[in-house]
Amino acid sequence: MMRNATRATILFAILGGLLVGFIVLPLLRTLTATSLRGLILALQDPQLQRSLAVTFGGAALATTIGLLTAVPLAYLLARRRFRGRGLVEAVVMLPVIVPHTAAGVALLLVFGRYGLMGQAFARVGVSFTDTVAGIVLAMLFVSAPFLVSASREAFALVDTEIERVALSDGASPLQAFWHVTFPLARRGILAGALMMWARGISEFGAVVILAYHPKVMTVLVYERLQGFGLQAALPATAVLIGVALIAIGVLRGVLGVQRESTTG
Amino acid sequence: MLRRRLRRAHALCLVGVWLAACAPASPTPAAPAADPSAPSGDERTPLVVFAAGSLIVPFAELEAAYEAKHPAIDVRPEYHGSIQVIRHATELHEPIDVVATADASLLPMLMFQVEDPATGTPYAEWACSFAGNRLALAYTDRSLYTEEIDSQNWPEILARPEVLLGLADPRFDASGYRAMMALALAERWSGEFGLFNQVFEGQFTYPVRIFREDSLSTITVPEVLETRSEAHLRMRGGSIQLLALLESGDIDYAFEYESVIRQHGLRMLQLPLPVDLSDEAYRDQYAQAVVELDFQRFASVEPRFIGEPIAYGITIPSTAPHPQEAEKFIAFLLGPEGRAVMQADQHPVLPSPLAMGWEAMPVSLQPLCAGVGGP
């Protein structure tokens, strides 16, 4: 019996190990193919610096808008039973399934110069083609589902009894949310925000259609690979992978802290 | 329980990432329906054709016609800016059977002079110019100043800050540097030596410079070319990427080839013959505009493009996995059937294709493409 279990463990470890190796090897190869000097030079490159600023800043702005809109929506989805809730959940998850080039085309139709929203925003001097606003929009569209999903899960974990106690002690629903539910769910929301930010950084398809310029990191990597070759694209690629590693490390840290605090 | 749900949330996020990563990064043109009598894709010999974006419409039909005639061949076309087409072979070392560019002179510059490190032989030793074209301005009914624009005042209209102008990146696409040449030639033709700067000054982070001499205007494109946030110029890697922006109304005008404009049913402003790079009679005048790419970091060659009548070039890279099949495909293109497809799609073919490096050409293609000063 025990022997069978060990065999199963070994078999699963081999199969799982293949997948882990498949993920790790290309990433590691990219990092090792880039010299430290090349990486330092790349980080001093003004174009890359601008691109990093636009990418990280754009994703941060998208995440901020996400926090203001996705978190209230996630709360409703977690706490309220209403007609069409399933439909709303499905709609919010759609950007994960819709190919991102298709998302870019759809956004261009609505937020382009003659699109419904494009025309409305043009009246206040905001345009979305080849602007940071367009980048933020594309990032927001494709990455918001991650924040909604994570926040909804986080709210669902908060005991409704604690909220009820706050309400019976005289707190308004908004006060109960702000002082009780949100703080208890904040680590899950933070993890979702981090996922959303990281997903925004890695977006290519939707951004490249709406705003080729100013170039975000993924567009810059694509342009350098297409236009100048592998060696030219490597340092920028390594920087992107480095950021992803840091993001996943922080994400695990956030989740780890929550695990300890909720189970310990 | 709590821990399990957290893990579930985390896993959901990661599944989402995976799903998102599966989304295609770039669209590929739809392949025509396969001949039902043809063998399945697995059995067919793949023929990888990398071509200039402006060939996308005729080459899609060429693919269908060729596959119908040769059911054992699976033509796999991929379209980019012409310089990118070549770099896929020479820098990214992709196995490509046929390379077709919108500028034949790129082939000697970027393939004859560059050696494959694996074999020490050049990436190509011959090329055949097979088609022409004409540079023009594409626009739509919604574009600004359509009632006003004509073959005289177009540079002035394009320079207006509220007019959004589409330009292919001159570092990657022949239509990009040809658009710059057209403005330099328009200056010489009209005698108004400020038109180029009116359109391009203040548009880029690092400026594109023009240096004028008696019989030569030299344009220098910096290695890093990106538009400024307040620019009215919209730049894309290839000219065909501008078509969607035209159709959505997000640009007013774009430099495009006449064949592409006609294929997409867009409105067209013909540029004057001394400017549109179409007429052999103006060869000497066209040569007065030169574009230099100021590449220092990324490329081993420093490309210099001299204005000349537009000629599309085709070759078989020395690294082609299926050179014999590539030969047959090019013979089909240069022959009556291929020429008929091109003409049906309003892409002008050269009356007699012209070869560079004729003696190095495959023997089967030599009768179809005359040598420069040769037979």
Looking at the complex, report in whole angstroms how far the Cα of residue B332 sits from the nearest Cα belonging to chain A. Answer: 29
Residues with Cβ within 8 Å of residue B217, at least 6 apart in sequence? B184, B185, B187, B188, B196, B210, B211, B288, B289, B290
Compare CB distances from A114 to B83, B244, B248 and report the shortest one's residue: B248
Residue B302, chain A, CB below 8 Å: the answer is: no
The answer to whether A234 and B54 have CB atoms below 8 angstroms apart is no
Residues with Cβ within 8 Å of residue A196, at least 6 apart in sequence? A59, A62, A63, A66, A70, A143, A144, A146, A147
Residues with Cβ within 8 Å of residue B18, at least 6 apart in sequence? none
Q: For residues B227-231, give the mean pLDDT.
A: 88
Q: Has residue B14 got a pLDDT over 70?
A: no
Starting at the edge strand found earlier in the chain, the sheet holding B209-212 runs B209-212, B217-222, B289-294, B304-306
Partners of B270 in beta bridges: B136
pLDDT of residue B246: 94
Residue A151, chain B, CB below 8 Å: the answer is: no
CB pairs under 8 A between A and B: 137
Give residue-wise pLDDT tens across range B121-158.
Answer: 999 999 999 999 999 999 999 999 999 999 999 999 99
pLDDT of residue B220: 95
The CATH number of the domain covering residues in B2-132+311-371: 3.40.190.10
Compare CB distances from A99 to B24, B87, B234 and report the shortest one's residue: B24
Residue A237, chain B, CB below 8 Å: the answer is: no
3 state SS of B142: coil
Residues with Cβ within 8 Å of residue B313, at least 6 apart in sequence? B100, B101, B103, B104, B105, B106, B107, B127, B128, B129, B130, B356
Residue B17, chain A, CB below 8 Å: the answer is: yes
Q: CA–CA separation, B203 vs B212, rounded Å?
A: 20
Residue A133, chain B, CB below 8 Å: the answer is: no
- Among candidate residues B55, B135, B85, B66, the one with its CA nearest the CA of residue B342: B55
Give residue-wise pLDDT tens across range A121-133.
Answer: 999 999 998 899 9
Query: Hey, are the CB atoms on B87 and A97 less than 8 Å from each other?
Result: no
Low-confidence stretches of chain A (pLDDT beneath 70): 1-4, 257-264
Residue A250, chain B, CB below 8 Å: the answer is: no
Chain B, 204 to 243: residues with Cβ < 8 Å from chain A are: 224, 226-227, 229, 231, 234-237, 241
| Residue B60, token pair as written in the block | 């899609």
pLDDT of residue A45: 87
Q: CA–CA separation, B51 vs B81, rounded Å?
A: 8
pLDDT of residue A69: 97
pLDDT of residue A259: 54
pTM: 0.81
Mean pLDDT across chain B: 87
pLDDT of residue B29: 36
pLDDT of residue B42: 58
Answer whether B2-132+311-371 and B135-293 agree in fold.
Answer: yes
Query: Hey, are the CB atoms on A150 and B297 less than 8 Å from each other?
Result: no
Torsion of CA A244, A246, A248, A253, to 10 degrees: -170
Residue of A nearest to B233 (CA): A130
Q: CA–CA separation, B269 vs B61, rounded Å?
A: 27
CA dist list (Å): B36 to B33, B64, B336: 8, 12, 25
Identify the DSSP state of B117: T
- Please compute, for residue B143, the number of CA atoms within 13 A of its CA located in the half-sphere on the CB side: 29
Query: Hey, are the CB atoms on B249 and A114 less than 8 Å from each other?
Result: yes
The share of chain B scoring above pLDDT 90, in percent, equals: 75
The CATH number of the domain covering residues in B135-293: 3.40.190.10
Residue of A nearest to B85 (CA): A226
With b for 16 or more beta-carbon neighbours within 10 A and e for fewer, the B249-267 pattern comes to: bbbbbbbbbbbbbbbeebe
Phi and psi angles of residue B25, each rounded to the nearest 5 degrees, phi first: -80, -30
**Residues on chain A touching B13 (C-beta within 8 angstroms):** 146, 149-150, 191-192, 195
Compare CB distances from A213 to B24, B92, B227 and report the shortest one's residue: B227
pLDDT of residue B301: 65
- Which of B7, B12, B13 is the best mutation test for A, with the most CBs of A within 10 A? B13
With b for 16 or more beta-carbon neighbours within 10 A and e for fewer, the B17-47 pattern comes to: beebeebeeeeeeeeeebeeebeeeeebeeb
B17 band by pLDDT with thresholds 50, 70 and 90: very low
Residue A214: asked if its preceding bond is cis (omega within 30°), the reply is yes
Residues with Cβ within 8 Å of residue A142, at least 6 apart in sequence? A95, A96, A100, A103, A199, A200, A203, A206, B20
Residue of A nearest to B18 (CA): A96
Q: CA–CA separation, A236 vs A45, rounded Å?
A: 10
Largest Cα–Cα separation, chain B: 84
pLDDT of residue A248: 84
pLDDT of residue A251: 81
CA dist list (Å): A11 to A5, A16, A29: 10, 9, 27
Residue of B nearest to A146 (CA): B13
Q: CA–CA separation, A63 vs A55, rounded Å?
A: 12
Residue A100, chain B, CB below 8 Å: the answer is: yes
pLDDT of residue A169: 85
Residues with Cβ within 8 Å of residue A195, at least 6 apart in sequence? A143, A146, A147, A150, A251, B13, B17
Helices (H) and strands (E) in chain B, counts: 12, 16
Give residue-wise pLDDT tens across range B22-66.
Answer: 333 333 333 334 444 445 545 789 999 999 999 999 999 999 999
Query: Hey, are the CB atoms on B171 and A112 less than 8 Å from each other?
Result: no
Looking at the complex, report in whole angstroms how far the Cα of residue B68 sits from the nearest Cα belonging to chain A. Answer: 31
Q: Which helix (H) or strand (E) holds B6?
A: helix B2-21
Phi and psi angles of residue A17, each rounded to the nearest 5 degrees, phi first: -60, -35
Residue B11, chain A, CB below 8 Å: the answer is: no
3 state SS of A126: coil
Residue B360, chain A, CB below 8 Å: the answer is: no
Compare CB distances from A149 to B12, B26, B27 and report the shortest one's residue: B12
Query: Hey, are the CB atoms on A129 and B227 less than 8 Å from each other?
Result: no
Q: CA–CA separation, A240 vs A247, rounded Å?
A: 11
Q: For residues B163-170, give the mean pLDDT.
A: 95
Compare CB distances from A96 to B20, B227, B244 and report the shortest one's residue: B20
3 state SS of B73: strand
pLDDT of residue A233: 87
**Residues on chain B touching A130 (C-beta within 8 angstroms):** 227, 231, 234
Phi and psi angles of residue B312, each rounded to the nearest 5 degrees, phi first: -85, 140
Query: Hey, are the CB atoms on B248 and A109 less than 8 Å from each other?
Result: yes
**Residues on chain A touching B224 (C-beta within 8 angstroms):** 46-47
Q: CA–CA separation, B197 vs B217, rounded Å?
A: 12
pLDDT of residue B348: 96
What number is the ipTM of this complex? 0.73
Identify the DSSP state of B366: G
Q: Give domain limits for chain B.
A: 2-132+311-371, 135-293
Compare CB distances from A130 to B169, B172, B227 and report the shortest one's residue: B227
pLDDT of residue B318: 96
Q: What share of chain B is helix, strand, coil (3-state, %, to 5)?
A: 35, 20, 45
B280 band by pLDDT with thresholds 50, 70 and 90: very high
pLDDT of residue B256: 97
